[in-house]
Chains A and B, each alone.
Chain A
Amino acid sequence: MRWFWIDRFTEFVSGQCAKGLKNVTMDEEVVDGYWPDYPILPSTLIIEGMAQLGGILVAEHHQFDKQVVLAKVAKASFLRPARNGDQLRYTVTLDSVQDLGATVNAVSYCDGELQAEVDLMFAFLEEGRFTDGPLFGPGDLKTMLRMMNFFSVAVDSDGKAVGDYPALRDETQ
């Protein structure tokens, strides 16, 4: 099953922020099927897109060595619907990181206007606790990141292009 709720990364600064965009199209079944005669991208899937950006931001901060999952939607407010033809521009900022998880703040802009504001909390899965295996199939995460332009835009905190990640090289994440 495809479960990509951002189209591409547009900026990525390790340990700081991730930006990405999501085009809302009638081609997506959920857009015209969620609310008959009023196509919109459901707000839950906007949260999912932000969580995908944020999850990568948090996981990359740990060199993709941790299994990061969305644990809690702390706050979410939506100021306008995301209609077919809209382009949503997400910015996710790393808020805090702890032993067991991390929090991020996310905003979505459409046509230059604030469309949504969401605070998310992620938890780190531990071996034998909640999961017995990897979250991604071999190579899947690296492939997803490449398709979403991550490696073209991602830089470290000094502005240098990110290097190779052993956890991805092993293709065991």
Chain B
Amino acid sequence: MSLSQDEIFEKVQEALVDALGVDDDEVTEEATLVGDLGAESIDFLDIVFKLEKAFSIQIPRDELSPEDILTDSNFVQDGTVTSEGVAELKARMPWANLDAFAENPRVQDFGNILTVGDLVRYVMSKTE
């Protein structure tokens, strides 16, 4: 039986509260993991563990953050992701809202684009 979006949100929220030590009400759909919730790089590993366990899914490396694109000179020039790179990111991350990032796609900003809502949609894509 597949979970509803609300049920997935609740479980994602629980995982983030646990992993990041934040309050329930801070974990909104719009909150960014890094900027708003204070996630550090090591926390992402913790979040992956918790999501895998909560939803009985496998989260392959680079699926949540395709580092291979961001370090590929075919897709990045002068610290900015090219239009081809943005298209590739969108293809690989259909669950993420990359519209704002696409307006000024600096690699250094990529780490702060993921929101709680993106995570929820990602999990939905894995559990459908």
Contact = CB atoms under 8 A, between A and B. Distances in A.
Interface residues of B, number: 13
Contacts of A99: 60-61
**A contacts with B: majority SS:** strand
Interface residues of A, number: 11
A91 B52 CA distance: 24
A134 B112 CA distance: 32
A72 B46 CA distance: 8
Interface string B39-77: 000110110110011000001110000000000000000
A139 B108 CA distance: 41
B18 interface: yes
A160 to B, nearest CB: 30
A96 B52 contact: yes
Given A98-B59, A123-B45, 6 more contacts: A72-B43, A72-B45, A74-B19, A74-B46, A100-B48, A121-B42
Interface of A: 71-72, 74, 96, 98-101, 103, 121, 123
